[in-house]
Structures are given as structure tokens and as C-alpha cells.
Structure 1
Amino acid sequence: MQQQHLFRLNILCLSLMTALPVYAENVQAGQAQEKQLDTIQVKAKKQKTRRDNEVTGLGKLVKTADTLSKEQVLDIRDLTRYDPGIAVVEQGRGASSGYSIRGMDKNRVSLTVDGLAQIQSYTAQAALGGTRTAGSSGAINEIEYENVKAVEISKGSNSVEQGSGALAGSVAFQTKTADDVIGEGRQWGIQSKTAYSGKNRGLTQSIALAGRIGGAEALLIHTGRRAWEIRAHEDAGRGVQSFNRLVPVEDTNQYAHFVVEEECPNGYAACKDKPKKDIVGKDERQTVSTRDYTGPNRFLADPLSYESRSWLFRPGFRFENKRHYIGGILEHTQQTFDTRDMTVPAFLTKAVFDENRKYGSIRGHGKYAGDHKYSGLITNGENGALVGAEYGTGVFYDETHTKSRYGLEYVYTNADKDTWADYARLSYDRQGIGLDNHFQQTHCSADGSDKYCRPSADKPSSYYKSDRVIYGESHRLLQAAFKKSFDTAKIRHNLSVNLGFDRFGSNLRHQGLLLSTDYYYQHANRAYSSNTPPKNGNGGSNANPNANPNGGKDKPYWVSIGGGNVVTGQICLFGNNTYTDCTPRSINGKSYYAAVRDNVRLGRWADVGAGLRYDYRSTHSDDGSVSTGTHRTLSWNAGIVLKPADWLDLTYRTSTGFRLPSFAEMYGWRAGVQSKAVKIDPEKSFNKEAGIVFKGDFGNLEASWFNNAYRDLIVRGYEAQIENGKETAKGDPAYLNAQSARITGINILGKIDWNGVWDKLPEGWYSTFAYNRVHVRDIKKRADRTDIQSHLFDAIQPSRYVVGLGYDQPEGKWGVNGMLTYSKAKEITELLGSRALLNGNSRNTKATARRTRPWYIVDVSGYYTIKKHFTLRAGVYNLLNYRYVTWENVRQTAGGAVNQHKNVGVYNRYAAPGRNYTFSLEMKF
């Protein structure tokens, strides 16, 4: 928010204005005195503002590195903590899938770093059965915030600035340079940050080194992070939890006796008088801590181990006149998210065994060797394997996100503004981002907690399954940007031109290591046979007709139970056109864009701005079923600021947005048959926004109203046709343009300087206020589509107020700030919809079974600077230890979630943290 301090007259000012002319006259009347004063140069680093790119600033938020430090931003969830209307999309396994803005999320909100698009949220259909709802990660790589110079968040259509994906908004990051670390007038700089966050026991250590020798300069930043899952309020996990576990008990049937051949070296006759009893399964109620409990009623979040390592290196050379700069950039960031899905029951139950009986009896069930009674409880598992109740089941997801970027840039800066361009930048970047998603299901350890266990011959009826999917995107992007300010007829123009050309690729594959792929299973068989005892009782070659066992106590069964073998089977198939088809999915292409923008100042009364952008994208694939093609789109925006008074601005802007089909949508939904490529048009949006801004010494206050319309939204379904007077499906399921929707809302943003309101109050006191509300106006489905779900607005954040009161000591030595956040309940109408059925009818649907109630929290934070070099920061979040649940967490159970949590028994696991603390120490030299 821009802030203007109007000049105020007071007695001192009037006295000086009166005295100075008199003093001047006295000097002229006396002896003339002349003295040449030294020239004083005042330099300040230009800070990014809301109106840099668009004249109105409506829907814009800008956060600098200093803002991120003051707000103690340590991860993606901290970035928009106090910004209503912007929320993080939880991926369901500890990572995230970008942001939600104005009812849209994931790939419909653009995410870029220095103009480079980050990876798309790619959600592949999961294999039938099992525990997963998606076969791929679906995450979007997260940004390392210690590398960020500034971030601009735009709410509303913004494709004229950010291109494809800015359908509902955009989040654009700018990377630090050496100037951001080197202090003014110095040749070197060192910055260090050590931070701890109590909500996830997270540790952060970052160090930045920068130096300048002559024209050469360089910046090096290394950041390491380690954390665990976000801990729910302590009340959510109090007590213990109970569950059923199948345990062995003796079979009461009188014909359930047996003798094991390997345990009778002297033959059947020597052992038959001491037979064993078959065992059967019986549920036993067991009680454990809430942390150790597994099952759908789990109170706590799944355990997560998170680690991040990031390197950023920016060398460069600035020529003598300082107008020309040539530099490079190298960045490598790797983040790991390792979690165990503890909503999957670790132990088998009688209900599971009873259900599996319908598939027939199992040879050897109830028989065991030695005293190992548990080994007799076996049932059918996946892939034809037999699994035993002796072992616990564990489901693990290990994700590794790796980003590598290197590039070159040339920058021309003309502070004198006396040439054809005030600023020009030419850059080339190569970026590769890979998401390695490794799913593992184990059934080979006592309680299922060991993800490194594997089936072996000494662990009969053990099982292991692996599915490793890697999704990657690459970009080779050439960009050019030019800026020029000039005057024509007393009108000030700020003209900018942007050009770009990109070659890109997308690839999803089942990764291979020692085996042909990492999509396989293993299970350990048990060697078992039922025999007739020999004639002489100790090894004769002929069976004894008088010793035929019937399981009775005097004629027990004669069985052999020996060591088994480990069987490995590949699940991967090729060419079957389903999830198990391990043929790599590759899509490549090229794109280019050209954009021009002019922000015009019409004197002191008005500012006008307009922009136009043309985008071209062409894609191709070796797979003829992929819906590739060529797309051409035109985006524009226009805005005006009227200034009828110094204290008042009236603003209005309109803009368009688009999103090209994602790589996952282009690949399509595969159901076994050979799908046909379909034509998918870009999604489109149109945004209108009007605002009023009050400004002055008191600060500023902005209120705005917006209207966003979306059309041609892409969703999976069928084309519809009429046969015999009835609507039926045509062709195969595919991603189609099928939906449209419209929302309206209001946004309020303000900051009050209390010294400007009343000068008797100390300088430094301020208040902040933010509010956002969205209302759904219209939802429609195209008539020529069927088996389509109407658009559900689970992505809308409930209305939220954020009010702050703070104090910053005028010299910046210390400060304190309190924030009150109040969220309304999630609107039920945003979760209700309907689904068009294949028979022409429809049924009502609901995004999720639960919605959140209103809640509020109070946060307090502060900082203290010691000798300009050391800054201590601390924050107490949820000061009152309030128990609440955010919609962003509960939304993981909604149908639109990337990895939907299903069959949720209790919602304690989604509880937000109780009172928690954050501390950091920053050092700058």
C-alpha cells in the first residue's frame, strides 16, 4: 500500500519561513559571503510496490525480504498467514499444491520465479484398489524463502503479466542479488539467520555471503531446514485409543489336531499322542497411545519428516559506467517429505479374514510350526500373495522435490534516462524440476513401523509393494524486458515491453533401479503340504491305510511346514493403457509471448494504464492419444486511478486470464481402451474490480469490490448425445471444457499511522486491517456434457478478518506487534453441487462431510536489534491456546483434494496447533 505524508504547517515551520528571508536580506546588506557546500547524495534501494506493474494496485500484495523477516515467514503456510483470501492448498502428504485465490487453486493460480513457471500439479489416476486416491504426487515445488528478494501476489485475472495459469491470480517471486546483502557503501556483506518454529519443531539455518571487487561481484546463499509434522493442539491427542487386533486362539473343533513332520524325527507314531491344536483368529481389544494408534479414527496427523537443502550462487560483472551488467545464476534446491499413512490399520482383524473367506479356503490355515501360533493366521492379500496376522502393515510415502536452475543474464540500467531504454534485461535460463514419489506398502515387521523391512524365507506370509513415480518438467526460457519513461504533451508514459521464448518438456514415468522398474511386489511363501503317514511310522515308502488322519486327537493330520521362498513380481505392463502401463508419458513443445504495457500519468488528476499480451503454445507427443495441439491466446488489462483530492483515489481495473490445458489433462484419463485425442480449449476468466482509497498522514485505507467470471473450465466427463429421445454418453471419458462460474466479493486493506491521526501520540504506533469475502453467484454446466460434476467451491477460503496493533521504535531498534485473526464458518452452499449422470438425470453431491466453525486466534511478535548487527525475533502464536480447525486442513477430505483423505472417522487430526513459539536470530555485517 502506498503511503503519503502530507506536509503540515505548524508554528515552527511558519517561524522558519518568516525568518529565512529576513536573514537573507541581512546578508546582502552586509559584506557578501560565499561558501561552496559539499554535495550530499542520498541513495535508497528501490522497493517493489503494488503499482509497479498495474496503475491501480487493486488485488495486489507485495512482500519484501524485510517483510518476510518481520512476519517470521519460514514456510509456505507462513507467507499468507495474515492475508485473507489467499490460502495454501494442502497436498495431503505434507507438501503443498500451490495457492487458492478467488475460488480457484493449483494450476489455476500461476506460480513463477523470475518469470520461470514452476512445476504443474500433475495428478495421475491411481491403480484400482489399494490405499491411494492418486498415483502421483500432485504437489507443486515450494520456494526457498531465504532466496527471495520480493514476492508479488495478485488476486484476480492476471495473464497479461504472468501468462498461462493466472486464471484467478498469480504469485511471482523475485530472487535476491548481491546488492540485497552488501550494505550501502561497503564492498562485502554477510547475513545469517537461525530460526526455530515450535509448531513443527522446525530448525532453519541460512547464511548469505556477498562481495564486490572492482566490477566483479557474487552472492552465495545456503539454507538448510529440518522439521516434522505440524502438531495439533495438545487437547486433540490426549488420552489413549483402542483397536481390534486378530490374535490366535485354539480351535475348539474336535477334528482340528495336527502333527508337523519336521518336528517328529522319529516319525508320526512317536508324535501323534501329543498333537497340536489348530488355531483360529479372535479379535482382541488393545489400547495404545494416540501417537501409536493406526486406523481411520486416528486423532493425530500422520508423522512427517521434512528436510530441505538449498544453494544459490549469483556471480556477475558490472562495467565501469555501471550501466552494463553480465551475470549468471545457479540454484539447486532439494526437499524431502517422508510420511507414514497411519490411517491405514496396521493389524488384521477378524472382519478382514471373514470377508476373504468368500474367495475360498486357504491351504494350511490354522497350522503352524513350533510355538509360532501367529504364523497359522493367514489370508489373501494383493497380487495373489498370502499375508499373515503376525506382521503389521505400514504405508509410506517418500517424496523428493529437486529443482536445478542455471542461467545467464545481461542487464542495462540507465539512471540518466538519456538513451532509448531506461532499463533492459536479456536472460536465458535452463530449469529442471522433478518430483520423486515413492509409495511403499510393507507387511513384514511386528507393528508395520519399519519401512525398510522386506520379505524373506524366515518370514513366511510377509509382503512388500513398491511404486515409484517420477514426474519432471524442464524449461529453456529466453526472456527480454525493456522499460522506458518519457513525456509527450505534459503526459508521463512508463512503457514496458516483454518478450519470451520457451522450449519445454513434461515426463512421467515409473522409475527403475535394480529391477526393471520400481513398480513391483514381493512376498514370502510358506512350504506346506498335507501327507498320509508312512506304513511303519518312521519313513516307510508306502502309506499306512490304517493311519489315515482325520484331525481327531487320536488321528491328527500329518503336515509338512518348511522354509519358503521369496517371489518377486513386476506389476508394470506396457501398452494396456491403464495406470499399470509403465510406458513413459512424454509431452514436449514450444511457446512464445509478446507483451506491451503503458502506464500513463495525466497530471495530478489521473493515472491510466493498459496492457496487451499474445501467447502461442504448440505441443506434441509420440502417443497419439495425447490431446496435443496449438493454442493462441490474447490477454489484456486496463486500469484508471482518478484523484479528485489529495486524500482520495478512485480506482477501477479490468483484466483477463487464461489457463492452457495441463500436461495431466492433455494425457487424459485412460480406462484400458485406446483413447482418442480431443480438442481442449484454454480456460478463460474476466475480472472487474473497483476501489476507493483514503490516504493521508493517518495512513491509508482501501476498499474494493470485484467480480470474477470463469468459463470453459476443464473437468473429466463425456460428450453428450441424444439417442431415442434420451441423453447418453458419446465416446470415452476425457478432460473437456464443461463448466462456468461467477463470483463476487469485497476486499479491505488498510494501515493507520496513529501519530498522523493525532500528533500527540508517539511516533511508531500503527494499526493494520484486512478483510476478504467471496460470494458464489452462478455455476453452470454445458448442455453437451454429461457425467460431469458441477464446480464445487471448496477452494474458497471462509471470510476472514485480520486486525493488528503494533509499535516500531522510530530508529528501528525494537518493535512489537499483535494480530487478531477471525474466520467465519465455511459456507455450506459452497460445498453443495450436482452431478450429471449418464442416463440424463442428476444427483446432489457434497464436497465433504464436514465444514469448519468460526474461530479466532491472537498472535504476538516482536524484535530487538543490538548494535545494528544482531536482531532477535520472537513470536507467540495462538496466544490464548484456542482450539480450532482451519478449512485448509479439513479441505483435505474434500473431493477436490489432490490426495483425498477418505473414510475419516474423527477430525481431531486436522486441529490447528495450540500455543506455539517461533524464535530467530539474524546477523548482518
Structure 2
Amino acid sequence: MRQKHPNTPLLPIVASIFAVLSSPAFAQTTHTNHITTDEELPSVALAAQTITSVRTKVATTERIGRNDLANAMINDTKDLVRYSTDVGVVDNGRHLKGFAMRGVEGNRVGISIDGVTLPDSEENTLYARYGNFNPSRMSIDTELVRGVSLEKGSNSFNLGSGALGGNVEYHTLNANNLIKAGKQAGILVRTGYASKNNEWVNTVGTAYQDGQLEAVAMYSNRQGHETKSNGTGNISIGSSSQKPDPAKHRQNSYLGKIAWQINPDHRIGILINGQNGKNHTNERSYSLLESAWREADDYQKRTNANIFYEYTPDSTWLAKLKADYDDQRTVLSAINYKGQIPYDWSTKTYKDEKKLDEIYNRSFKTNYQRLSLGTQFLPIRLFGGHTLSAKVHMARRDFLNINHDRIGIGASYETDEVYTIQYPIRTTQFGISLKDNIQWSDLLSTSAGIRYDNQKVAPQELNAQCGKACTAEGKPNSKTFGIWSGFFGMNIQLSPDWKTNYLISSGYRIPTASEMYFSFKNPYGTWKSNPHLKPEHSLSQSLSLQGYGNKGVLDASIYQSQYKDFLFEQTSLIEQTSYGRTHQTPMNQTVNIDKAKILGFELQGKLNLDTVILAPKGLKFYGSLGYSKGKLSTDASLLSIQPIKTVVGLDYEAPSGRWGVFSRLSHLGAKKAKDAQIEDVSSRCIAFEFDDWFGRKICRRTELYKQIITAPYLNRRSHTLDVFGFYKPTDSTTVRAGVYNLLNKKYHTWDALRGINAYGTTNTVDRDGKGLERFYAPGRNFSVSLEYQF
């Protein structure tokens, strides 16, 4: 059901932002181009600033600091990108599958914790339709992080495979984040509540730091329910359900770090973080049959561990040498309970009871180990000041699927089956990189890096029985990928208040195990493996202009991202013969298509109003705008391109630091039909015949055909207003509160609508569109928190 909308009035918005922000401005800024370490991660003003960087972060980076996470009460992935332009989430009902950035999404946007990449989502269009697996992308609870970096643009120099459109990196808390100035130890206790999903979060942590020993321990617990919708209606069963499926979740997260400075030259440490979560959903919108029901338990478990050694000698050439060993273990599983609701023929109604028929237990397991060695050298003079660094790593990733299904529970035909849908995969990796930051003069600096990765993807022996389509092809051959990536950046200081930056960087993504090796055959559809896939490649370019001074910040940038050998699940129409009948069926296979291209621009700024008008010190104006467009080389559109988004606001922080109030007015643009073209397989009649019984012509033969159509659900433009703030009654106590969607607007986000499945039994909508009511964003809601730190 396409929703029409008027044109967005962009000119007044853009003009007002430029008019207010065009003075050379930059009071406190995080726009830096020098080399910094993760420990130096700066905190930025709410809604973050853009940092154009050619150091270790070789992408346009938006940082959200620890205070901002707390003040805006950011609790989940959707909250994290609430005020970020040109960044979205991959929303698929029960599962969030990562981020959308620079026009691409999911596995094309990396997610990492302290530099360790989290596993890709292993899913295809077959299982996405039915919800029997858990294809979520993992993350880390924001209670345990000191900052988040949204790195926009190709970034495989730092991350390796996956960072085509960018990367989201979480930086975990250090001891000094919990310890007040002048003290050696600290304790943090925090509790919070969010009304949008009735979620409680409770966190406790402690830290110690002296000249030699540093330690931190954190624990956080979350418990809540389904996210509410601002939709209306009383239908609560099937795809026409107008209410979100009832759900209840809990998650336990932990963080531990300990480091010992043995002497001025040597330092060792151990880090560990992880989480264990469960989400139970009563999937009332399940749409197999009217009498069918399903409930699901989605589990996620992750453990990250790191052991490191640092050597910082008193040397004339070596600044630091660091060795790391990382170990990551993850499990994503879904247990689905299915059955029928008995029908009472005497009352002609369904009984208030459920009969359990099936239990599907499906799991993805990934283990990852990495050994790396990095060096930083002291600056040398050679036609400019060079600061060199190098890194080498070896890694191994093991992935497997295991399923345990029980069918016909309690019946004479009950079966119990343990199996897998594909061969286990072992990926071995070797990589080496070299980077040089060059200071040519006070006005000109450049930075360049090159990296080589060699990855071998090797199917292993089956860990359980596999289907006929899986075994018919035999054990697939291994494949090796050798890939170069890199970046080059240049900074020119035009004046004390203005500078410009140019950056070009590349990215790549190795196909996942499911894309290369998954196969399935059924009369209603076939999925064919493709072990000959090539890696995806990307090339990003950006040009930015930054103004900075005592009045605030202005950052304007334009960018272009080009994608080559884009991986795409292509549908072909083939003929199959089964049970003596020949019929058409769709055949799906992941292939490399030609290319895709994205163009866009971003504008962000912050103005200290007391420097330009008669206003109290601490009053600031914030504005940002993001817009992008592009498409595939086929006639289809890249649905992950975000509609235009504008955010403006007034902030006030008292000079004493005791209290602050922030506001954000967001304009969410509509998705246009011409930018939402999709491929669809339809049926048409090719042979009519007169039927004497019906007295009219009826169709005797049909055929399938492909066509390009407009996505069925397009969001309208909308505006939301949020107001939040903090108050410190004492030096140790902070109270925070916020009201979101203050005007109680009823709106859909594009991310929610594009995640609706056109076919299947989960996350679908009826033909009349009644089910769209449950996909509305939450109405007016609030969050509160109380923090005690001493």
C-alpha cells in the first residue's frame, strides 16, 4: 500500500542552518587529524560531531561519547542512530541485523568491539521468510562502553572484510571512566527505566588505578518487553495484527579489565567482556494458518577475551610495540514452539488452549582467534615528518550450524532429528599493513596506508546429517582470496579557522558461508550454491570543509561511494519435473552483479549563541542534515539508502555543570517511489479455455515472470521532538530524564517498513494493510535514570 506525500520543503531548512552556522566557529571540537589511541577517545556534544580523519580511523567518523550516551539515555541500536543523519538500522521484526550506512547495510557495515569484528549474519531469503533462525547482528550493551564511533565510508584498512559502507566500533570503559579526579578507586551504581518497552536497566561497577595497576569490573542487567507502537486497532492475530507481538527479554552483560605496568617499558593486561540474552516472543502475527500459533525464544551469547603485552622502550626510533591475542565465541540460536489451536465446533470458536506439535531448535556457532603484532615508530625527518606504523595478524574463524527438530510431538509419527543445513566452514586469515602520517608543513599534512589480506575459506567435514541438496554437490572445494586495500588522505589548513580535507579509501567483503555454500531444493523454490563468488569491493571519496573557532563548529562534506562485484541474491525462473509434472519455479542464487554508486552530502554544526547574540553562556544551537541517492546497475533500487534527515536543537548546560537541558527536532524525509524499486516474481495466465460448468473462460496454464515494481510500503515524512536533560543534586549523584516524541506523532520509519517480508509467515502484513498499525514507531514515551558515582 503506497502512501503518497507532499514534497519535502528542504530549502528553508538548509537556508536556516547555513545562515546560523556560517560564521567561522569551533569552540570545543573533536575534529582532529593527529594520531590518537582508543584510550584518548574524546567525548562530544549531543548528536555528535563529524570528525574527518586520516589517522587510524580512515573514514568520516561521528563519535558519541560516554556522557552523551548517558544524557540521551541511549539503550539500544535504534537509540544510537536516533540523531545521526544517513545512518539507519536493519529492522526485521524479532531481529535487528546491524546498521545501514552509505547506502549499504547488514554485513556490508562492520561492527566491532575494541577492534575485534563481530560475526556476519548468516541468512538467506528462504529462512528470512519463516523466522526459524536467529540471524541477528550482535553488539554490546551501551552501559559498558565509553564511546561509539560511527565510521562512514570504506574502512577495510582497519577492519578487513565487511567495512564496505563503514563500521560501528564500540570502545569499552576504562578504569579512569569510573574514578573521580584525585582518587585511586571508584564505584558506579546506576538504574534506569524506559517506558517505550517497559525496560529496567541496573548497572554496578568498580575500578582501581594507581601508578602500576589498573582494574575495572562492570555488570549490567536489562529486563523489558516488546517496543510499543503508536498504531491503533484491536486485531491481534495473524498478519493483520495491529498490535506488536508480546515479548519479554532479559540480558546480562559484564566487563572486566586488569593491566599491570611492570616497569616503564613493559605492560601486560587481560580484558574480557560478554553478554547472555534471551528474548521470548508470543508471535501472534504468525500467519501460517488461522488456527496455527508460534512462540519463540531467541538466545544470544558472546564472550570476547584479550591478552596483551606492550613494550615502550627508551628508544630513538621505536615508540611502541604491542602484541595481542583475541578470542571470541558467539552463539545465536532460536527455539520455535509451534502448534494448533483446537476448534470448538459447538461454539464455532477456537478454544483458549494451545496444542504443541513442533519444536525447532536452530543454532549458529562461531569461534574466532587472532594473534596480532603492531608497532609504532618515532617520527623521522625525510622530506617532511614521517610517523610510521605497521601491523601483522593471523586469525582463524570456525562457523557451524546445528539444528534439533521435534515434529509430531505426542503423536504416533513423532520424529526427532539432528541435522545441519550446510557444511561447517573454517576461514584462516593472514594480514599485514603499513601506514605513514606525514607532516609536510604547518599547513599541509597527508596520511596513507596499504594493507594485504589473504583468506582461505575451507568447508570442513559434516558435523551432522545434511539434506539431499546439500550432499548432492559433495563437499565443496576451498577457496582463497588475496585482497589489497588502503587509503590516502590530505589535510590543508586554509587559515587559523578553516581547513579542508580529502580522503579516498577502499573496502572489501568476503562472501559469507551461506552465500557461497548454502543449497536447498523444493517444488516451490530452489536455492543454489555458488562457490565461485568474488569479493565485493568499494571505493569511497569524501571532500570536507571545516570551520572552527570560539563560536562553534561547522562541517560540510560531500562523498561518493562506488561498489563493484556487488553480491546480490538473483532470482531466475527454471522448469522442474516432480511427481510426473513439469512446472516453473524460482531459482535463487547469490551472484556478483556489476556495480552500485552512492552520492551524498552531510552538514553539521554547533553555534555558541552567547558569542553572537545576547544569550546566557552555555546556550547552543545544533543543526545537521544528511542526504544521499544512488542505485544498482540493475533497474532495482538500493533500499538501504536512507531518506533525507534533518536534526536541529537548542541545548543549555549551566556553567556550573550542575544541570543541562537538550532538545532535538528531527525531520524524517519520505521515501520516494522512484527510489524504492524492487524485483518481484509474479504469475500470469497464458492459456484460457471455456469451461461449460462455470459458463466462462478459466485459466488452464500460468507462467511466472519477473518485473520491477515499487516497494509496497513507503513512509511519509514526519517530525519528532525530544527533550531531555540532567541534574546533579550532589557531586556524586546525577538524575537524568527525557521525553521522546513529545508531540505524540504517529509515523513509520523507512527502516521498519522495508523490513516487512513480502512472502512468508513472519513479519508480514495482510493485503489490506491493517497490520501496518503494529509497525508504527512508539508514541510519546519517557526515560529516567539515577546514577551514583563515588
Tell me which interval the TM-score lies in, with the shorter structure as reference length: 0.7 to 0.9
**Paired residue type of 1:588:** R
Matches for 1:500-899 after TM superposition, within 5 Å: 500-510=393-403, 517-524=404-411, 567-570=413-416, 582=420, 585-622=423-460, 624-626=474-476, 628-671=478-521, 678-717=531-570, 734-758=589-613, 760-776=614-630, 778-781=631-634, 791-834=636-679, 843-846=706-709, 848-893=711-756
Q: 1:393 aligns with which of 292, 297, 315?
A: 292
1:303 paired residue number: 246
1:480 maps to 2:373: yes
Q: What is aligned with 1:237?
A: 232
Once the two structures are TM-superposed, the CA of residue 335 in structure 1 deviates from its matched residue by 1.3
Displacement of 1:836 in angstroms is 9.7
Matching residue's letter, 2:624 = A
Cα distance in 1 between the residues matched to 2:567 and 2:399: 19
1:470 is aligned with what amino acid? S
> Following the alignment from structure 2 to structure 1, what is the Cα–Cα distance between the partners of residues 529 and 750?
39
Shift of 1:448: 8.9
Instruction: Please state if 1:329 is matched with 2:271.
Output: yes
SS in 2 for 1:650: strand
1:571 to partner: Cα distance: 5.8
Is 2:103–2:640's contact at 8 Å kept on the other side of the alignment?
yes
Task: Encode CA deviations 1:650-680: one digit per residue, 9 max, x unaligned.
Answer: 2211111111001211223322799675311
Aligned to 1:430: 327
C-alpha contact 1:749 1:770 (8 A) present in aligned 2: yes
Distance (whole Å) between structure 1 residues aligned to residue 239 and residue 365 of structure 2:
33
What does the per-residue CA deviation read over 1:559-617, in whole Å, with 9 as the maximum and x for residues that have no partner? Answer: xxxxxxx5412466xxxxxxxx6366300121021122222223221221111111110
The answer to whether 1:85 aligns with 2:97 is no
SS of the aligned residue for 2:451 comes to strand
> Structure 2: how far apart are the matches of 1:472 and 1:648?
50
SS of 2:321's equivalent in the other structure is strand
- Name the SS of the counterpart of 1:918 in structure 2: strand
Alpha-carbon deviation of 1:419?
Answer: 4.4
Partners of 1:85 and 1:636 in 2: CA distance = 24
Separation (CA, whole Å) in 2 of partners of 1:3 and 1:70: 25
Amino acid at match of 1:747: E
| Change over 3 Å in CA distance of 1:709–1:915 after alignment to 2 | same
Query: For residues 137 and 77 of structure 1, what CA distance do their matches in structure 2 show?
Result: 19
Deviation at 1:848, TM superposition (A): 3.0
Work out whether residues 55 and 639 of structure 1, in 8 Å CA contact, stay in contact via their aligned partners in 2.
Answer: no
Distance 1:56 1:219, change over 3 A: closer
Contact 1:97-1:106 within 8 A present in 2 as well: yes
- How many residues align? The count is 703
Q: Which amino acid aligns with 1:60?
A: T
Secondary structure of the residue aligned to 1:890 is helix
Matched, 1:219 2:216: yes
SS at match of 1:78: helix
Q: Partner letter of residue 173 of structure 2?
A: K
- Structure 1 counterpart of 2:407, one-letter code: Y
| Partner SS, residue 112 of structure 1 | strand
Distance 2:361 2:57 in 1: 48
In the alignment, the residues of structure 2 paired with residue 220 and residue 849 of structure 1 have an alpha-carbon distance, to the nearest angstrom, of: 49
1:185 aligns with 2:191: no
**Cα contact 1:56–1:639 (8 A) shared by 2:** no
Q: Does the 8 Å CA contact 1:521/1:570 hold for their aligned counterparts? A: no
SS of the equivalent of 2:752 reads helix
Change in 2 beyond 3 A, CA 1:639/1:111 = same
Q: What CA deviation, in whole Å up to 9, does each residue of 1:278-298 have, x standing for no partner?
A: xxxxxxxxxxxxxxx212221
Q: Distance in 2 between matches of 1:710 and 1:840?
A: 34
Which structure's CA Rg is the greater one? 1
The verdict on how the C-alpha distance between 1:748 and 1:205 changes in structure 2, with shifts beyond 3 A counting, is: same
CA distance in 2, matches of 1:771, 1:827: 18
How far did 1:153 drift? Answer: 1.0
Residues 434 and 451 of structure 2 are in contact (CA less than 8 Å); yes or no, is this contact kept in structure 1?
yes
Structure 2 CA distance for partners of 1:846 and 1:346, relative to 1, 3 Å: closer
Q: How far does residue 818 in structure 1 lie from its aligned partner after superposition?
A: 0.8
CA contact (8 A) 1:208 1:219 kept: yes
One-letter amino acid matched to 2:569: R
**Counterpart in the other structure of 1:911:** 776
Name the structure 1 match of 2:123: 123
Q: Does 1:145 align with 2:120?
A: no
The aligned counterpart of 1:74 is 75
Which residue, out of 281, 291, 300, partners 1:339? 281
Kept after mapping to 1: 8 A contact 2:518/2:529? no
2:41 to 40, 47, 50: 47
Note the C-alpha offset of 1:124. 4.8
Q: Can you list the C-alpha shifts for 1:139-171, whole angstroms capped at 9, x where unaligned?
A: 111311122122211111111121110011111
Partners of 1:898 and 1:830 lie apart in 2 by 27
The 1:799/1:897 distance shift into structure 2, 3 A limit, reads: farther
Contact 2:197-2:224 within 8 A present in 1 as well: yes
**In 1, are the aligned partners of 2:194 and 2:784 still within 8 Å (CA)?**
yes
Partner SS state of residue 68, structure 1: helix
Q: Give the counterpart letter for 1:138 in structure 2.
A: P
Q: State the Cα distance separating 1:229 from its structure 2 match.
A: 0.9
State the secondary structure of the residue aligned to 2:600.
strand
1:407 matched residue in structure 2:
306
| Deviation (angstroms), 1:408 | 0.9
User: Aligned in 2, Cα 1:211/1:142: closer, same or farther, shift over 3 Å?
Assistant: same
Change in Cα spacing, 1:484 to 1:754, as seen in structure 2 (3 Å) is farther
- In the alignment, which residue of structure 2 is the partner of 1:281? none
Aligned partners of 1:847 and 1:896 also within 8 Å: no
Distance 1:445 1:870 in 2: 56
Q: Is the 8 A contact 1:56 1:651 kept in 2?
A: no
Rate the CA distance shift 1:832–1:327 in 2: closer, same or farther, 3 A. same
Contact 2:600/2:627 (8 A) holds in 1? yes
Report percent identity of matched pairs: 24
Alpha-carbon distance, 1:779 to partner: 2.6
Unaligned residue ranges in structure 2 (runs of 5+): 1-20, 29-37, 44-50, 344-348, 462-473, 575-583, 684-701
Secondary structure (helix, strand or coil) at the match of 1:810 reads coil
Q: Single out whichever of 627-636 and 420-429 deviates more from structure 2.
A: 420-429
Distance in 2 (CA, whole Å) between partners of 1:59 and 1:496 is 21
1: CA distance between counterparts of 2:682 and 2:509?
Answer: 27
What are the within-5 Å matches in structure 2 for residues 337-486 of structure 1?
Answer: 337-344=279-286, 348=290, 393-413=292-312, 418-443=315-340, 462-486=355-379
2:260 is matched with which residue?
317
- Corresponding residue of 1:384: none
Q: Which residue type is aligned with residue 772 of structure 1?
A: G
User: AA paired with 1:917?
Assistant: F
1:344 Cα deviation from its structure 2 partner: 3.0
Alpha-carbon contact 2:53-2:60 (below 8 Å) kept = no
Q: Structure 2 CA distance, aligned partners of 1:171 and 1:763?
A: 34
* 1:179 aligned partner, one-letter code: N
Matching residue of 1:263: none
RMSD (Å), alpha carbons: 3.4
Find the counterpart in structure 1 of residue 785 from structure 2.
920
2:288–2:761 Cα contact (<8 Å) kept: no
Aligned-partner Cα distance in 2 for 1:736–1:697: 53
* Secondary structure of residue in 1 paired with 2:774: helix
